[in-house]
Amino acid sequence: MALRAAAARLASSSLRRRHGHLLPAAATASQSAFLHSHATSFGFKQVREDEKSKLVGNVFSSVASSYDVMNDLMSAGLHRLWKDRLISKLNPFPGMKHLDVAGGTGDVAFRVVERIKSVSHRATQGTLTDMEEDTHIYVCDINPNMLDVGKKRATEKGYNEEQCLSWVQGDAEALSFEDGSMDGYTIAFGIRNVTHIEKALSEAYRVLKKGGRFLCLELSHVDVPVFKDIYDIYSFSVIPAVGELVAGDRQSYQYLVESIRRFPKQEKFAQMIQEAGFEAVEYENLVGGVVAIHSGVKL
C-alpha cells in the first residue's frame, strides 16, 4: 500500500507538455546523424542495420521466461501502475478494434480487455452486448517466445482467443493489418528496440482509423540532476547484476539499460510522432522522466 501511495504521488506530480510549436519538420544535419546512429545501434555498440533485429530478437528470446518477474524487480512493481495509466489514457470502449505492438506477454492487452468488460458490464448490468462481442484486441510481437508467454497467461486467465484476443507474430515496421483498421494502437517498452523508429511510427499511423489514438509507454530520460545520478548508478550497476542473479543473463539487461540511453529524449520523440502525421501530440513524464507516455491522434 505504501508503494502504491508513493507511486500515486509521483504520478500526480507528472509533467505534461503539449506540442503546439515543435521544431521544423526538416531535421538538421546533426539530428539526421543522431537518428541514423540510433537506427544502427545495439545498446552502445554500432551494428549493421540487418544485424540489429536479430540481436534484439536474441535478447528477448533469452529473457522471455523471466520477463515479468524482472519487470517487477527492476521497477519495484511500478510498471503495473504505469501500464494502468496508459490504459486510462487510451480509454478503451466496447466494440473497439485495438492493436498492441511488442506486447507479447499480454500485459497491456489484458488490461484493455478488462477495462472494456468493466465499462460494458456497468452499462448493461453484466449482460454481454453486441458491441462487446465485436471487440477485438490484436497482440503483435516479432518474437515467438514472448507470444508463447502471453498465450500461456491468456489460458491461465480463461480468455477465449476466438472471441476477443488474437496473437500475431509480426514486425512493427511492416504490419500485416489493413489501412485504417484500428481504433487504437499501443506499444509499451518496445519502440526503442526497433531498427527504424520512424518506420514503426509510420505503420502506426497507417493502420489507425481517422480519430484513432496512438499511445507509447517507454523508458525515457530523467532531467533532475541528483535523481539522474542515482538513476544512472541503479541502471548500470544494479539492473545488470539482478538480471544475472535472477535470469542468468547479465548481457541482455546491460543492453536494455544502454538502449534507454540511446533512445531520443522526450521532446525529440514527440517531434518524430508529429512528423509521422499525428496531431495533438503530447507526453506525460512519470517518476521524473524514468518513463514517459507519448500520445497522438490521427485526424
CB 108 within 8 A of CB 185: no
Grid coordinates of 142: 516479432
Annotated binding-site residue? 72:
no
Nearest to 208 by CA among 191, 193, 189, 187: 187
Q: How many helices (H) and strands (E) does the chain have?
A: 14, 10
| Beta sheet of 165-169, edge-to-edge order | 15-18, 279-286, 291-297, 208-219, 182-188, 97-101, 136-141, 165-169
Q: Which long-range contacts (CB under 8 A, 24 or more apart) does 130-136 make?
A: 131/94, 131/95, 132/94, 132/95, 133/163, 134/94, 134/95, 135/94, 135/95, 135/96, 135/97, 135/164, 136/96, 136/97, 136/98, 136/164, 136/165, 136/166
Grid coordinates of 234: 541503479
Nearest to 293 by CA among 5, 35, 11, 8: 11
Annotated binding-site residue? 130:
no
Pairing of strands 15-18, 279-286: antiparallel
CA distance 11 to 6: 9
Annotated binding-site residue? 141:
yes
What are residue 235's phi and psi, to 5 degrees?
-65, -50
**Please, what is the Cα angle at 28 between 186 and 19, to 5 degrees?**
45
Binding-site residues, in ranges, read 105, 141, 171-172
Binding-site residues for S-adenosyl-L-methionine, in ranges, read 105, 141, 171-172
